[in-house]
Amino acid sequence: MSLPKKSTVPAIAVQNLSKRVSDATGELTILHEINFTVQAGETLAIVGASGSGKSTLLGILAGLDVPSQGTVLLDGVDIFALDEDGRATFRKNNLGFVFQSFQLLMHLNALENVMLPLELRGDKKAHEKAEAMLEHVGLSSRLRHYPKYLSGGEQQRVALARAFVTEPPLLFADEPTGSLDAVTGESVIQLMFTLNRERSSTLILVTHDLSIAARCGRTLTIAAGRLQPEA
């Protein structure tokens, strides 16, 4: 299942979304009745203090976690009407991810890491596309290097290449510079926004860095699991 190239409905519609978990002290509400929409091609930052629920929200938007109430529509598709396998297939065909901890497979080299999402889709040009994408992010000399031999900035560039190589209509980034020093983080964030503009993806970015959030078209603030009114 792939998203259509053009649609009159929002790229993302979050409807009455809540997330509750139970522990030894009772029930804890992580997210409380969240509602918002994102149009195709928008760049949206989700900000908030540590523990505010922003990363939980991102995980639910991507179908990696399940809400206690409400739902998420991605280009009109109710992802929680799909079973777990259906959501996995949907993610494979429509979503790209960039994580703070890179999430590269350590037993695969840079080229193989970027080829993987293409191979999972049965793309016969996986090698060619992955090599071109790594060259685009400035790593043409590091194709055969394994993650442990790459710097943090280089690993995140591989992660960006992997996220963008399938040209997903939706891109999710969770604290993409959180593990990097300021200079390296700045170069990586510039690259991410450049790639996103080139491919016209809808970008949802979770960050605690307000200077990075300011580069997005919109910012949503989560405080104690509640969405704050937009300024």
pLDDT at 58 over 90: yes
Q: Where are the domains of the chain?
A: 12-227
Mind listing the pLDDT tens digit for each residue in 126-172? Answer: 999 999 999 999 999 999 999 999 999 999 999 999 999 999 999 99
Give the number of other CB atoms < 10 A from CB of residue 93: 16
Global pTM?
0.87
The H-or-E segment that residue 139 falls in is none
Report the CATH fold assignment for 12-227.
Rossmann fold (3.40.50)
Q: Which residues pair with 205 in a beta bridge?
A: 45, 173
